Amino acid sequence: MESSEIRIKQHPILDFPERRKVRFYWEGKELLGYEGEPVASALHAAGIKVLHKSMKEGRSRGFFCAIGNCSSCLVIVDGVPNVRACTEKLRAGMRVEMQKGVGPALISKE
Amino acid sequence: MKTTELAIVGAGPAGVCAALEAASYGVKVTLIDRDDEIGGQLVKQTHKFFGWHEKSAGTRGIVISRNLAGSVEENASICFMGSTEALGYYKDDGVLLLETPQGIEKLKSGRLLIATGACEKMILFPGNDLPGVYGAGAVQTLMNVHGVKPGDSVLMIGSGNIGLIVSYQLVQAGVKLAALVEALPGIGGYAVHASKIRRLGIPIFTGYSIKEAYGTDCVEGAIIWQLDDNWQGIAGTEKDLNVDVVCLATGLTPLCEFLWQAGAGMAYVPALGGFVPLYDENMKTTVDGIYVAGDVAGIEEASTAMAEGRLAGLAIANSLGKVSAGEFLEKRRVSLEELEQLRAGPTGKAIVEGLAGLRGQMGKRVSV
Amino acid sequence: MKGGILLTTGVPSKEQVESRTPPKSRRERGPFVVIECFQEIPCDPCHYSCKFGAIKQFESINDIPEVDWSKCTGCGVCVAACPGLAIFVVDETFSDTECLIAIPYEFAPLPGKGDAVRLLDRAGQEVGGGFVHRVLPGKKPQGTPVVWLRAPKELSMTVRNLEPVEKGGVSHG
């Protein structure tokens, strides 16, 4: 699906004004999203639904609750694992990666 | 360590109404929410609310939410801590542990109101973990707050008010509704909401459930089937639906972790959504100083959450000695009557029975 | 099933609709309101929306609205006020062959005056064709737009939704 179609353009009650678009990366691939929107909504608008692989069987996981309750959408943001894609706000240049299981250990930078 | 007279966890309709009511008697309130916005789930409710004309009925949830946020912002007695997650409660010291944007903080309060709301119930079916299976609240957040469609075509599970309302809102956002299924023999939510989606040509299958969602990495389709009297699927009644979203509106359950941590008396009441705290006519739990309001005290409508919030705010102000006895009793009487009326219709019957059971257990517990 | 067909299908029964329809003599006199609210739920804004006092005062918040036919002018203010979108206005005196039907319509884009539309019944099934007579857009975010349709007179108590003709379906708004 085209990413332009998935954004709501016309709505009888709500208005979604244009916001500042920023570049970010998903698995190294450059994408555009709105600054300040949740990472999950930017990814969903770009057609990306699989955000995480389950711990034991490696099954695909996406977002589920969208408000930070469950842990279905954990991703790695700028090297930090276990970030909830549904509540993390998008920033320019953010590097987001799919988290597999518990994700990598957080190693402090030298 | 910071201190406050009243800490409220959750800035949804219940928490905000409690904050405003308590603050109107001069109580110093700290209102905590993990979101940066005030309003809780009201921020995505685009439909008009029922209830009393003079109490926001006929107003859309999003508008009520903005009005409440405005009232909080201009109230000097309320300190709103947004983007702050309450992580835990230390019952021996009465201290809340908070994760704020600045880091970890502790907060000690004279009174604590838990207004944490609820989360969706999961149901069991093959493929229920596939991306594309979303909670109804998540679908609302994605489309009504962030302006993103959840998919092209949706199967809605559950005909309570949430399932009916979100189905309608999906069509308003330009998404196709393939079908709505309800395991019970009848529609669970208000008839007017059901009529609204039927007029759009959306089929409602009562006595049906989902058999499975399938797809390699994401939902590519779903199969529904009819249920027999023992809730078992009937072979041969399957319908294969071409959908990329399965939306779960199969009920909510209270988010009551803090109450468990605090050692509050709890009871399992299916009509109220699962485990709920025992509480009295002042919305006070079995733990001194801890109150509840809204969905955490039993799943109901937002109008009820607001009424419960006002009652809790009043009772807390009274417990801090800020309300005259006469005024307190009169206002509480009005508040309790309001709640009784909100639950008086046929749709409130199960709630009333559930609450009666809860009250019975409360009585036993207190007398022990 | 307790509650009848309305609570299994979402579509009210013929008897339920008839119970909200005024007598013939009143129908011949001009526009009238049809309140398709059949279930006791806690809600009262319709009473307050009517400037003519035609929707009677509620004794309990759960009462089902009752109309005083002598006071209803068919103005349609209550159509946009009902939170359940359950109120319609029908005018069977519009012409010899056509009636007017006011319908709450919360979809985008709104149709324009004169547009041809498909007429849908309470189950969303197409029952004929009609035209948009007038549109009251309502103000975002609070307002509910109301579309007045011109429809064949015999469909006055059947048509309860519309679908713009240009579109493939309501679902692709």
Residue by residue, DSSP assigns C64-82 as: PP-B-TTT-----HHHHH-
Tokens of C44: 């009262």
Residue of B nearest to A61 (CA): B131
Tens digits of residue pLDDT in C60-87: 999 999 999 999 999 999 999 999 999 9
Residues of chain A falling short of pLDDT 70: 1-4, 107-110
Residue C73 lies in a domain: yes
What is the C-alpha to C-alpha distance for residues B156 and B136, in angstroms, rounded to an integer?
8
Q: Determine the pLDDT at residue B359.
A: 85
Mean pLDDT of B5-15: 98
Cβ–Cβ contact A63 with B under 8 A? yes
| Host H or E run for residue B356 | helix B349-367
Task: Please calculate the CA angle B261-B264-B266 and round it to the nearest 5 degrees.
Answer: 110
Q: How high is the mean pLDDT of chain B? A: 95
Residues in A closer than 8 angstroms to C140, CB to CB, are 13-15
Q: Are B243 and B162 in contact (CB under 8 A)?
A: no
Cβ–Cβ contact A15 with C under 8 A? yes
Residue A4 lies in a domain: no
Chain B contacts in chain A segment 68-107 (CB below 8 A): 68-70, 72, 86-87
Residues of C within an 8 Å Cβ radius of A:
106-110, 140-141, 145, 173
Asked if pLDDT for residue B47 goes beyond 90, the answer is yes
Residues of chain C falling short of pLDDT 50: 1, 168-173
Residues in C closer than 8 angstroms to B196, CB to CB, are 84-85
Tokens of A53: 């692989």
Residue A92 lies in a domain: yes
Residue C1 lies in a domain: no
Longest distance between any two alpha carbons in chain C, whole Å: 46
What is the C-alpha to C-alpha distance for residues B49 and B78, in angstroms, rounded to an integer?
26
Residues in B closer than 8 angstroms to C87, CB to CB, are none
R_g of chain A, CA atoms, integer Å: 14
Query: Whole-model pTM?
Result: 0.95
* A88 phi/psi in degrees, rounded to 5: -75, 130
CB contact under 8 A, B172 and A12: yes
CB contact under 8 A, C109 and A11: no
Partner residue opposite B172 with nearest CB, options A13, A40, A44: A13
Cβ–Cβ contact A107 with C under 8 A? no
Chain A contacts in chain B segment 202-241 (CB below 8 A): 217-218
What is the C-alpha to C-alpha distance for residues B96 and B88, in angstroms, rounded to an integer?
6
Select the residue from A8, A16, A70 to test the B interface by mutation, using most B Cβ atoms within 10 A: A8
Q: For CA atoms C146, C152, C157, C162, give the dihedral sign.
A: negative
Cβ–Cβ contact B24 with C under 8 A? no
Tens digits of residue pLDDT in B228-270: 999 999 999 999 999 999 999 999 999 999 999 999 999 999 9
**Beta pairing partners, A83:** A75
Chain B closest-CA separation from residue A56 CA (Å): 13
Supply the angle between the helices B13-23 and B302-319 in degrees, to the nearest 10: 30
Residue A9 lies in a domain: no
Domains located in chain B, CATH noted:
2-119+252-367 (3.50.50.60), 122-248 (3.50.50.60)
CB contact under 8 A, B171 and C36: no
**Beta pairing partners, C137:** none
Cβ–Cβ contact B48 with C under 8 A? yes
Q: Determine the pLDDT at residue C169.
A: 46
CB contact under 8 A, B176 and C172: yes
pLDDT confidence tier of residue B367, bands split at 50, 70 and 90: very low
Q: For CA atoms C78, C55, C160, B156, give the dihedral sign.
A: positive
Find chains touching chain A: ≥3 CB pairs under 8 Å: B, C
Nearest in space to C105 (alpha carbons), one of C78, C72, C79, C71: C79
pLDDT above 70 covers a percentage of chain A that reads 93
Overall number of domains in chain C: 1
Residues in B closer than 8 angstroms to A67, CB to CB, are 35, 137-138, 141
CATH of the domain at A35: 3.10.20.440
From the number of C-beta atoms within 10 Å of its C-beta (0-12, 13-18, 19+), residue B66 rates as: middle
Q: Determine the pLDDT at residue C21.
A: 96
Full residue range of the structural domain in which residue A62 is found: 19-100
Full residue range of the structural domain in which residue C145 is found: 6-172
Tens digits of residue pLDDT in A74-97: 999 999 999 999 999 999 999 999
R_g of chain C, CA atoms, integer Å: 16
Select the residue from C51, C58, C61, C147 to test the B interface by mutation, using most B Cβ atoms within 10 A: C61
Chain A closest-CA separation from residue B343 CA (Å): 28
Residue A10 lies in a domain: no
Q: Determine the pLDDT at residue B366.
A: 47
Q: Determine the pLDDT at residue A107.
A: 64
Residue A72 lies in a domain: yes
What is the C-alpha to C-alpha distance for residues B18 and B307, in angstroms, rounded to an integer?
9
Residue of A nearest to B61 (CA): A13
Overall number of domains in chain A: 1
Q: How high is the mean pLDDT of chain C? A: 94
Cβ–Cβ contact A13 with C under 8 A? yes
Reduced to 3 states (helix: H, G, I; strand: E, B; else coil), residue B362 is helix
